[in-house]
Amino acid sequence: MATISMTVNGKQVSGEAQGNTLLVEFLREELKMTGTHVGCDTSQCGACVVHVNGESVKSCTTFVSALDGAEVTTIEGMANDDGTLGVIQQAFQDEHGLQCGFCTPGMVMTIADMLNNNPQPTEAEIREGLKGNICRCTGYHNIVKAAQSAAATLSGAKQAAE
């Protein structure tokens, strides 16, 4: 066992990990943050996507021992400070981009990273960008709409600020 320290959603945290402890296990079992989910064991479903140092990664395919000192953002860190839904989360509710909610945290985290890199993606780019996330409920139709809606809101806010 080794002690791993990192910043999760802006807070300094530390916990115990074995060599084989995955980031998702550390989040769920050590830090008791269960918003990040595990839906497969072949690194394909993306229910576990979080951000590490500003990039989306699959937390089920990342050893926590490699992340001592890293900055991690999870779904629990995506709401506004006052507890209201963040822009992408709100877009998911507005566009009915979720049903059972299980894949949703990973979808939100992937889209957040996508829009950081490409603020105004086309529908094809959104669909391509969701290649590492499986949803069994929505047929992706409203997830795509949520991404488009969030992109419009974020770029509108950016323009307003400029």
Q: Which of residues 40-69 bind another protein (CB under 8 A)?
A: 40-47, 49, 55-58, 60-63, 65-66, 68
Please select the residue that binds another protein; options are 16, 96, 120, 122, rule is CB under 8 A: 96
- If one counts every other C-beta atom within 10 angstroms of the C-beta of residue 6, the result is 20
In the complex, what is the shortest distance from the CB of residue 76 to another protein, in angstroms, rounded to a whole number? 4
Cβ–Cβ under 8 Å, residues 111 and 146: yes
Q: CB within 8 A of 5, min separation 6: which ones? A: 12, 13, 14, 68, 69
In the complex, what is the shortest distance from the CB of residue 115 to another protein, in angstroms, rounded to a whole number? 12
Does 137 bind another protein (CB under 8 A)? Our answer is: yes
In the complex, what is the shortest distance from the CB of residue 64 to another protein, in angstroms, rounded to a whole number? 9
Helix (H) or strand (E) holding 17: strand 11-17
Cβ distance to another protein smaller for residue 7 or 94: 94
Does 76 bind another protein (CB under 8 A)? Our answer is: yes
- x/- site string to another protein, residues 142 to 161, per CB under 8 A? xxxx----------------
State phi, psi for 18 to the nearest 5 degrees.
-85, 175
What is the dihedral sign for C-alpha 157, 9, 121, 106?
negative
Q: Which tokens hold the place of 94?
A: 């507005």
Does 71 bind another protein (CB under 8 A)? Our answer is: no
